[in-house]
Structure 1
Amino acid sequence: MTTVEANAAARSAASLLQILWLASPALPVGGFSYSEGLEAAVDAGHVHDETSAAQWLGDQLHLALARSDLAVEAQAIPAWRADDVARIRALNHWVLQTRETHELRLQTEQMGRSLLEWARQLGPLGAGVFERLQAADLNPPTYPVACACAAASADASVRDSLLGYAFGWAENMVQAAIKSVPLGQSAGQRTLALLAGEIPLAVDQAIALSDNDRQAFTPLLAIHSARHETQYSRLFRS
């Protein structure tokens, strides 16, 4: 292997590891504390077993995540790489304005701020991400836009970055289903396998969306999220 090939392989490995890091449930952004309306759907009886949980999360992947957060990240990564601050701010504003409930807006704000703090705590290792987020003055950064900033610093494709983002979301949501339905660990793994099979299609759908096609319109999810705000007993923050 030549020096050039060895350097390219090292950069590829480093990029992959950075995307896996961002997708990890261990990332200290609080994703584990949200069910994004799933807990309320369980309370209402719409989700009650492995099959209904997989159906709910699959629909959410394609109808909500792919058309909103994944589409935003697909457009925000090249904007960060081009230092197009106006574009970044416009995408961040869109996320804030299209969250359908108070809970969902608080979630994206809290996770965005936590990712900013994560970058700050890394010191020199996260300095580039922290400084770019600070300079953009997003007030506050939303999670998909902040995550796009971190992904943009990796030498990875937009598609690979979105695959990581979506799988991280799926892991958190499956854990929420395990706790709230409840499901066993084996059922959770089967559900995660089904979602993993659907994620590439959702990512390709997101990448293909233009500004005019991007949307946030999930009425039943919004209703459950709103009801969750006053739900008597709950495990999750959304």
Structure 2
Amino acid sequence: MSPALLLHQWLSPAFPVGAFSYSHGLEVAIADGRICDTASTADWVEAALDHGAGRSDAILLAAAYHAGPTGHDALGDLARALSPSAERLAETDRMGAAFARTLRALHDLDLPDAPYPVVLGQAARACDLPLLLTLNLFLQAFAANLVSASLRLVPLGQTEAQGVILHLTDRIAEIAVDAEPGDTDQIGTATIALDVASMAHETLPTRLFQS
């Protein structure tokens, strides 16, 4: 089976992990007027990729890949500890459980329920998928999901939305290379505005997303 085709299936919006229902706090930033156009969407998504959960989750994915079937407990605990809000914790746990459940049914893999990047790394290792390709497509899917959320709430056209993702392509590739060793000592975030937005989401009067 083609690794690229399999990863595209796993990371497709149609794969039943519910990624489309999470905005990662972006919905609050839109409600507050901090995200209002193409430029502000690109800035927010790039920050999430480069200084937030994008990079951290990529490192966790790589660490789980290198650890194999024995290292998921400690990495799962670390992934949960890195979640800055109750909704973000639910996001990674629910997506991970849904992903593991689906792969157990499709591929008969012995995957435990774990935070999403951890179980994805384990699954990629179990199916002998190239790590760097997995990281690139995971990060692209992460960015695309945030852009899709912005597309639904901001006056942002589909062409402009695709332009944002294209603009981030080179940075995604660089982050994937940086994350490939899976060194969890390199995990660190500097996205206070994003984290505060995710904390504030649960009290947002009108919500389309779960986070």
TM-score by length of 1: 0.83
Is structure 2 residue 116 aligned with structure 1 residue 143? Answer: yes
The list of structure 1 runs, each at least 4 consecutive aligned residues, that deviate by more than 3 angstroms after superposition, is none
Secondary structure of 1:68 counterpart: helix
Q: Show the counterpart of 1:92.
A: 76
- Written as runs of structure 1 = structure 2, the 5 A alignment for 1:197-236 is 197-208=170-181, 210-236=183-209
- Written as runs of structure 1 = structure 2, the 5 A alignment for 1:1-238 is 14-80=2-68, 83=69, 85=70, 87-122=71-106, 126-128=107-109, 131=110, 133-134=111-112, 140-208=113-181, 210-238=183-211
Secondary structure of 1:100 counterpart: coil
The unaligned stretches of length 5 or more in structure 1 are: 1-12, 135-139
Secondary structure of 1:93 counterpart: helix
Shift of 1:174: 1.3
Q: Show the counterpart of 1:7.
A: none
Separation (CA, whole Å) in 2 of partners of 1:191 and 1:235: 22
The unaligned stretches of length 5 or more in structure 2 are: none
Shift of 1:71: 0.4
TM-score by length of 2: 0.93
Q: How many residues align?
A: 211
Shift of 1:88: 2.0
Separation (CA, whole Å) in 2 of partners of 1:191 and 1:104: 23
Q: Which residue type is aligned with residue 71 of structure 1?
A: I
Secondary structure of 2:63 counterpart: helix
Shift of 1:69: 0.3
Identity of aligned residues (%): 31
Shift of 1:157: 2.1
Secondary structure of 1:111 counterpart: helix
Q: Which residue type is aligned with residue 142 of structure 2?
A: W
